[in-house]
Amino acid sequence: MKLAEALLKRAELKKTVEELKSRAEENASVQEGEEPFEDPEEMLNKAIEVNDALTALVKRINITNQETITECEKSLSDLLAERDAILRKRSIVKSVIEGARIEGRTFRFTRAEIKKVVVIDIKKMQALFDEISHDYRRLDTLIQGINWQTDLIS
């Protein structure tokens, strides 16, 4: 199985655990004299079983990420950490840009109101955001390609 397939299966298993948990919750109590639509204990047991399978898969994914060394001589885990860092940086810059745009649209109704002014160069910040976004897409594309070429470690 390729790493990318394992990642898709991980997402599927997470969704299944949540669905089974929800079904167990919904059927855990019923009106007196009624029967639940499904056996909540059975749903609970299935959720635990699927969660155990998910845990085993996640461990294999983590081992594969750590042991897969890429062409740039970094582990896949390191590339994932770098991608997450770029995403956080992008979020920070975007928040500053949005804050400036909101403040730049503030209107005073009377001269007594405090006037706020934008103190950053929005064009410069937007260019930085675009550059960071480009770096993110480039690294994400590299990671996705590696995921489809790498076999999951047993």
The single-letter DSSP state of residue 27 is T
pLDDT at 73: 95
Distance CA 29, CA 62 (A): 38
* Whether residue 151 is found in the same domain as residue 97: yes
**Residues 29 and 41 placed together within one structural domain of the fold:** yes
Task: List pLDDT tens digits, range 107-151.
Answer: 666 777 777 788 889 999 999 999 999 999 999 999 999 999 999
* Domain containing residue 63: 1-67
Q: Which of 41, 67, 93 is the last residue of a domain?
A: 67
Show which of 35, 67, 99 is a domain's final residue.
Answer: 67
Same domain, 35 and 15: yes
Burial 21-42 (b: 16+ CB within 10 A, else e): bebbeebeeeeeeeeeeeebee
- Range 81-96 average pLDDT: 97
Q: What is the pLDDT of residue 106?
A: 58
| 152 and 90 share one domain | yes
Residues 38, 55 share a domain: yes
Whether residue 89 is found in the same domain as residue 116: yes
Tens digits of residue pLDDT in 36-82 = 999 999 999 999 999 999 999 999 999 999 999 999 999 999 999 99
In the chain, the N- to C-terminal Cα span, in Å, equals 9
User: Residue 121: left (phi > 0), alpha (psi -120 to 50), or beta?
Assistant: beta
Are 63 and 75 in the same domain? no
pLDDT at 108: 61
In this structure, the answer to whether residues 97 and 58 fall within a common structural domain is no
Residues 96 and 132 in one domain: yes
Let me know whether 60 and 77 are in one domain: no
User: Within this chain, do residues 98 and 56 fall inside the same structural domain, yes or no?
Assistant: no
pLDDT attached to residue 35:
92
- Count of domains forming the chain: 2
Given pLDDT bands bounded at 50, 70 and 90, which one contains residue 11? very high
